[in-house]
């Protein structure tokens, strides 16, 4: 990724261009970073829905989407997501590499972000009402995806203590916001949030595809972002794990019992590089990893088992779908797998590193994944270079893994029945 060019458009607005001729499309992604708390989550998610309902040039959903269809089916996604303890608003456009489309796609992005339908510093009532309705459905729908819900509840349980610090509290917030916070938003308060977001938060724009940096910058310069002083964020903090005592939470699905239980386990840890964490997760989680081989293949206890490490927050979570009578056995086996990974064999370490090498060397074949990698590196102040990343992964030793494991603290076991 040595050909990454970054243009500082103004203080807090940066355009990053990675030219790659093998792609048939250009992929442009705007990331607007902001604080994550229950209020901002509800507002930012709602804002995405309002902005998608049209803009001053294409003032309805059908007109706007027909315009995108004319741009060879240019896809446009606008959503929020949680990046560890931070909230990010993301606008992504992908369209075929045709000269005529580049300025039009940038114009569509600019119109969406900067020319929403509004009147007297308020969003239009009808658009706002539809967005609130849709967002309330989305918030309620979290419960419909049982695995996602169980993991959300796990994180909530890990972070909800009153004494929790800001970082811990943020980690437990849903990017969709809550119904309570949603009910407090009005067309004018949302507009005021929008105005401060678009003028005060840092914006990073990534372009990956055949278009060149100068060409992209010329198009970007036509978007009239205000040249204002934007916020600066410090690197992301660590989840402290506020629970002084380990606890088990058993919950029953509200309407009908599930056909099998969802077992989630949450740990915090205090040390270990991002590379050691990745290798540890791979030893546990890969299709040839300890969890899959032990709990699924050898014991036949489940079909689905996975682990996830959030390096910045220093959280390890595990999730296993198993018959309710097997949850205790599965939990014990998972603990055993974690213990075993501290003394992993050379072969296990080698396979984990090889899998990660393959993963990172293949990143450059996907515009979205390349964009995600570049943005993550920027957030973590890491050089955006996959070769160096792979080399650092290769340097991880068994004792690095053992060191992460030795600092693990079991926080919560959450079971949804």
Partner 1 sequence: MEVIKEKCPISGADIYIYTLSTGIKCYIIPKSGFKTAMAMAVVKFGSGSHTFKQNGVVTEIPSGTAHFIEHKLFDKKDKSIFTELSKNGASVNAFTDFAKTAYYFSCSSGFYNNLRLLMDIIKEPYFDESGVENEKSIIKSEINMYKDIPERAVFSNLTKLMYPNSPLGSEIAGSEKTIEKITPEILYACYNAFYTPENISVICCGDIEPEKAALIVKETPLSASGAESIKENIISNKLNDFVSKRFDVSEPVFNIGFNHEGFEICPENTYALKMIFDILSGEGSKLYERLLNKQILTQPLGFSLICAPGAVFSVISGRSSKPAYAANSFIKTSSLLKSTGVGEAAVKRIKKMYAGHIIRGYNSIEAVLNAQADLAVQGFCLADAENAIAGITSDKINSLASLAFSRSNAYLSVIK
Binding of partner 1 by 325 (CB under 8 A): no
Binding of partner 1 by 274 (CB under 8 A): no
Pick from 10, 60, 343, 391: which binds partner 1 (CB under 8 A)?
60
133 Cβ contact partners less than 8 Å away, ≥ 6 residues apart: none
Binding of partner 1 by 143 (CB under 8 A): yes
Binding of partner 1 by 134 (CB under 8 A): yes
**Per-position x/- string for 338-377, each x denoting binding to partner 1 as judged by CB under 8 A, each - no binding:** -------------x--xx-xx--xx-xxxx----------
Residue with tokens 């991880």: 396
3-state secondary structure of 87: strand
Binding of partner 1 by 304 (CB under 8 A): yes
The token pair that represents 88 in the structure block: 């990010």
Binding of partner 1 by 179 (CB under 8 A): no
Q: How far is CA 123 from CA 54, 78, 223, 361, in A?
A: 11, 17, 21, 45
107 vs 258, which CB is nearer to partner 1?
A: 258
Binding of partner 1 by 235 (CB under 8 A): no
Binding of partner 1 by 161 (CB under 8 A): no
Pick from 4, 114, 200, 258: which binds partner 1 (CB under 8 A)?
258
The helix-helix angle for 38-51 and 125-141 (nearest 10°) equals 120
CA 197 to chain centre: 19
Nearest to 235 by CA among 206, 292, 195, 274: 274
Cα distance between residue 15 and residue 379, in whole Å: 15
Binding of partner 1 by 288 (CB under 8 A): yes
3-state secondary structure of 344: coil
Binding of partner 1 by 23 (CB under 8 A): yes
Pick from 65, 199, 306, 392: which binds partner 1 (CB under 8 A)?
65
Part in contact with partner 1 (CB under 8 A); list of ranges 71-79, 234-242, 337-345, 397-405: 71-79
Residue with tokens 């967002």: 135
Asked if 35 and 196 count as a contact pair (C-beta separation under 8 A), the reply is: no
List, as one string, the DSSP characters of 97-137. Answer: --TTHHHHHHHHHHHHHH-BSBSSSSB-HHHHHHHHHHHHH
Binding of partner 1 by 317 (CB under 8 A): no
118 vs 261, which CB is nearer to partner 1?
A: 261
3-state secondary structure of 253: coil
2 vs 62, which CB is nearer to partner 1?
A: 62
Pick from 242, 322, 341, 370: which binds partner 1 (CB under 8 A)?
322
Closest distance of CB 32 from partner 1, Å: 22
Binding of partner 1 by 140 (CB under 8 A): yes
Cα distance between residue 10 and residue 225, in whole Å: 9
Residue 329: HSE in the Cβ half-sphere, 13 Å Cα cutoff:
12
25 vs 80, which CB is nearer to partner 1?
A: 25
Binding of partner 1 by 223 (CB under 8 A): no
Binding of partner 1 by 99 (CB under 8 A): no
Binding of partner 1 by 74 (CB under 8 A): yes
Nearest to 331 by CA among 154, 181, 167: 154
Rg of the chain over Cα atoms, rounded to whole angstroms, equals 23
Pick from 3, 62, 234, 245: which binds partner 1 (CB under 8 A)?
62
Nearest to 313 by CA among 285, 284, 272: 272
Q: What are the residues binding partner 1 (CB under 8 A)?
A: 21-25, 60-62, 65-66, 68-75, 94-96, 126, 130, 133-134, 137-138, 140-141, 143-146, 253-256, 258-260, 286-288, 296-297, 300-304, 321-323, 351, 354-355, 357-358, 361-362, 364-367
């Amino acid at each position: 990724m040595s050909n990454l060019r970054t243009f500082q458009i103004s203080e807090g607005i940066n355009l990053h261009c990675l030219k790659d001729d093998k792609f048939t499309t250009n992929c442009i992604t705007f990331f607007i970073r902001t604080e994550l708390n229950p209020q901002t989550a509800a507002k930012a998610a709602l804002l995405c829905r309002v902005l998608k309902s049209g803009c001053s040039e294409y003032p309805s959903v059908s007109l706007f989407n027909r315009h995108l269809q004319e741009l060879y089916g240019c896809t446009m996604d606008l959503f929020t997501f949680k990046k560890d303890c931070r909230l990010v608003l993301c606008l992504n456009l992908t369209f075929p590499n045709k000269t005529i489309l580049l300025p039009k796609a940038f114009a569509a992005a600019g119109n969406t972000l900067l020319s929403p339908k509004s009147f007297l510093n308020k969003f239009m009532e009808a658009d706002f009402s539809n967005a609130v309705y849709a967002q309330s459905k989305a918030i309620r729908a979290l419960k419909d995806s049982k695995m996602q819900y169980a993991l959300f509840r796990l994180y909530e349980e890990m972070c909800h203590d009153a004494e929790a610090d800001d970082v811990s509290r943020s980690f437990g917030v849903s990017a969709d916001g809550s119904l309570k916070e949603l009910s407090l938003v009005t067309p004018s308060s949302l507009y005021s949030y929008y105005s401060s977001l678009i003028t005060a938060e840092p914006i990073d724009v990534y372009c990956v595809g055949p278009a060149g940096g100068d060409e992209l910058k010329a198009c970007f310069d036509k978007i009239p972002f205000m040249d204002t002083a934007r916020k600066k964020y410090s690197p992301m903090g660590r989840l402290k794990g506020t629970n002084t005592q380990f606890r088990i939470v058993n919950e029953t699905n509200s309407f009908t019992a599930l056909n099998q239980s969802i077992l989630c386990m949450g740990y915090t840890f205090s040390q270990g590089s991002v590379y050691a964490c990745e290798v540890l997760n791979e030893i546990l989680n890969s299709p040839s990893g300890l969890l899959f081989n032990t709990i699924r293949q050898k014991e036949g206890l489940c079909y689905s088992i996975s682990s996830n490490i959030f390096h910045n927050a220093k959280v390890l979570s595990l999730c296993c779908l198993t018959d309710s009578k097997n949850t205790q056995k599965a939990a014990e086996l998972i603990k055993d797998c974690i213990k075993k990974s501290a003394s992993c064999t050379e072969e296990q370490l080698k396979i984990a590193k090889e899998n990660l090498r393959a993963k990172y060397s293949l990143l450059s074949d996907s515009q979205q994944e390349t964009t995600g990698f570049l943005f993550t590196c920027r957030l973590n102040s890491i050089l955006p270079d996959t070769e160096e990343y792979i080399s650092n992964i290769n340097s991880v030793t068994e004792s690095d893994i053992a060191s992460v494991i030795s600092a693990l603290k079991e926080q919560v076991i959450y079971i949804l029945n």
